[in-house]
Chains A and B, each alone.
Chain A
Amino acid sequence: MAAALQLDRVSKTYGAKAGPQLRAVDNVSLVIGEGERVALIGASGSGKSTLIRLAAGLVLADARGAGSAAVHAFGMRVQENGRLAREVRAARRNIGLVFQQFALSGRLSVMTNVLVGVLGRISALRGSLGLFNADERRTAYAALAEVGISQHAAKRARELSGGQQQRVAIARALVQGARLVLADEPIASLDPKSAKRVMDTLVTMSRDHGIALVVSLHQVDYATAYFDRVVAMNGGRVVFDGPASRLDAAFLTELYGASAEELILPSQFAVTAPAGADARTSQTVS
């Protein structure tokens, strides 16, 4: 069975060839299994967002000659060697995206924003004209009910709160029939209560439908509370890949930098001394 997501030796360098360059993602290989839930942690600028955008084919990896850098989702090619694959639209149908800033069309109704999820599998003409049939509308409404906001279906998306908009984005991924959801900082711009609600919705969706889930997060406590597997990035490289239980305070402090203000340590790490140093090295894939 093909992996939900497979990244092979993927790098991304920003900046002009002559000018200053930034290697946002540096030779990362990663496999996410079907139905697996993975938290992606790391400081700002560690490459989390770029990695997610590479996985969705929204950013092209550096070209490095034949046979190198490639991204596959469920065995379908998303991109290879710095070019979008021919089958990228088909591959994307399996991938739902949830962004920090929601990425909804604010003036369109909540319902339409969710219906957009079916565009990938209906005829281009019908989709372009917005002629969604009764079945699709029922599916969309059911998805809205599942994330708990069906009462707002007729409102414009921008009238909703941040947390509600994020749940519209999740409903869109559901309607899309995505088998892998990539969420880039989905709770970074939400208040704590909405953040928890959105994380609950994401994880419940993943569990109930067997959807693989990759979520990039700032909050380490969320990563350890909701996910079994944690991937940590630093300077564009994967520096930890393993169960959340193997994370320790010393590693996290190093990961976020000694004076990191963004590090919110989960309570169990508050006083514990570094314990799993050996275990950690064995999991490191850098």
Chain B
Amino acid sequence: MFASNAVHRVATGTMPPPPVTPLATRLARLVLAALTVVVLVFAWYEAEMNPAQLVRDAGNMATLGADFLRPDFTYWDLYFDSMLETLAIAIWGTLLAVIAGIPLGVMSADNVVPGWVAFGVRRVMDACRAINELVFALIFIAAVGLGPFAGVLALFIHTTGVVAKLFSEAVEAIDPAPVEGIRGTGGTWLQEIIFGVLPQVLPLWISYALYRFESNVRSATVLGIVGGGGIGMIFNDTMRSFQYSQASAILIVVIITVSLLDMLSQRIRKRYI
């Protein structure tokens, strides 16, 4: 009925014309499209994109692919040990970060500390997060030498910035009523945090910490490549010496370990949320 009514109004010329996009909007869209194309072209050359090389070097690719399809587990015990080392790096890097992240996270939540404290702590945490683990690893390798400890320190600093932010966001989202309940009894600021804030945020905090542990296991693998210890270090060695079958075996070890840990951690996290 409505449709036929509209048809009738168009036919009789009583229907107002449909709205037209203003010229300025249309021009702006055109400029935006042109700019996008310019950026893409510039980035193509800047990144030296060259698909032809994939075809030209097809021989290399074939060798690499063939070797990767025949994983060589001769040194499996070495891979296993190195994987354990990588896990150890992730465990301590995450644990130290969580320990530091708890007070720093509380201190960057502006509903429980004065605004200027939160602002200051947040800027420091921003700095920790802004710099990648790899860069921290290079710095700590210069300080404490090659090896897993440099990796632990690198993960520790970067992850502290991440968990402090996640922890503080959880604190900022709490229900203020229980905190006032504690304040009303004459409790101290610390007691307001312990009995009013922590019970509310703890499940989220545990979940965030486990999630960061998962991603730190992946990061710890990469840290080895720059000399931060663990399985990444031997992966780098095998690639440099063209031992692709061994590299393939190492990747398989990494994939299985990471998948198992993700599954386990996900199961634990689900129980807490």
0/1 interface trace, chain B 172-193, chain A, CB 8 Å (1 if under)? 0001011011111111101100
Total interface residues on A, using CB and 8 Å? 32
B119 contacts partner chain A, Cβ-Cβ < 8 Å: no
A124 contacts partner chain B, Cβ-Cβ < 8 Å: yes
Residues in A54-101 with C-beta less than 8 Å from chain B: 56, 58, 89-93, 95-97, 99, 101
A284 contacts partner chain B, Cβ-Cβ < 8 Å: no
Contact A116 B186 (CB under 8 A): no
**Shortest Cβ distance from A128 into chain B, in angstroms?**
5
0/1 interface trace, chain A 187-208, chain B, CB 8 Å (1 if under)? 0000000000000000000000
B242 contacts partner chain A, Cβ-Cβ < 8 Å: no
Surface stretch bound by B, among A3-11, A102-110, A247-255, A270-278? A102-110
Partner of B186 from A99, A102, A106, A119 at Cβ < 8 Å: A119
Q: Bound state CA distance, A70 and B195, in angstroms?
A: 30
Q: Contact residue range for chain B?
A: 20 to 34
B265 contacts partner chain A, Cβ-Cβ < 8 Å: no
**Shortest Cβ distance from A245 into chain B, in angstroms?**
32
Partner of B185 from A102, A106, A117 at Cβ < 8 Å: A117
Contact A101 B177 (CB under 8 A): yes
A242 contacts partner chain B, Cβ-Cβ < 8 Å: no
**Shortest Cβ distance from B171 into chain A, in angstroms?**
14
Q: A99-B177, A104-B181, A106-B178 are in contact. Are A92 and B186 (CB under 8 A)?
A: yes
Contact B194 A172 (CB under 8 A): no
Q: A90-B186, A116-B187, A124-B188 are in contact. Are A99 and B180 (CB under 8 A)?
A: yes
Q: A58-B180, A99-B177, A102-B177 are in contact. Are A107 and B202 (CB under 8 A)?
A: yes
Q: Bound state CA distance, A176 and B143, in angstroms?
A: 54
A257 contacts partner chain B, Cβ-Cβ < 8 Å: no
Q: A90-B186, A108-B199, A117-B185 are in contact. Are A103 and B180 (CB under 8 A)?
A: yes
In the bound complex, residues from chain A placing their C-beta under 8 Å from that of B232 are: none
**Shortest Cβ distance from A160 into chain B, in angstroms?**
14
Residues in A106-146 with C-beta less than 8 Å from chain B: 106-108, 112, 116-117, 119-121, 124, 127-128, 130
Residues in B135-177 with C-beta less than 8 Å from chain A: 175, 177
Q: Bound state CA distance, A93 and B180, in angstroms?
A: 13
- Taking CB as reference atom, which chain B residue is nearest A172? B185
Q: Bound state CA distance, A53 and B202, in angstroms?
A: 28
B105 contacts partner chain A, Cβ-Cβ < 8 Å: no
Q: A107-B200, A107-B202 are in contact. Are A120 and B185 (CB under 8 A)?
A: yes
A169 contacts partner chain B, Cβ-Cβ < 8 Å: yes
Looking at B175, B180, B195, the one whose CB has the most chain A CB atoms below 10 A away is B195
0/1 interface trace, chain A 152-175, chain B, CB 8 Å (1 if under)? 000000000000000001001000
B229 contacts partner chain A, Cβ-Cβ < 8 Å: no
Q: A103-B178, A105-B196, A106-B178 are in contact. Are A127 and B184 (CB under 8 A)?
A: no
Can you identify 8 A-B contacts, CB atoms within 8 angstroms? A89-B186, A92-B186, A99-B180, A102-B181, A105-B195, A124-B188, A127-B187, A176-B186
- Contacts from A to B (Cβ < 8 Å): 56, 58, 89-93, 95-97, 99, 101-108, 112, 116-117, 119-121, 124, 127-128, 130, 169, 172, 176
A103-B184, A127-B191 are known contacts; what are 11 more A-B pairs with Cβ within 8 Å?
A92-B185, A95-B184, A101-B177, A102-B181, A104-B181, A105-B196, A106-B178, A120-B186, A128-B190, A128-B194, A172-B185
- Contacts from B to A (Cβ < 8 Å): 175, 177-178, 180-188, 190-191, 194-196, 199-200, 202-203
Closest 9 A/B residue pairs (Cβ): A120-B186, A103-B181, A97-B184, A119-B187, A103-B177, A93-B186, A92-B186, A107-B199, A105-B199
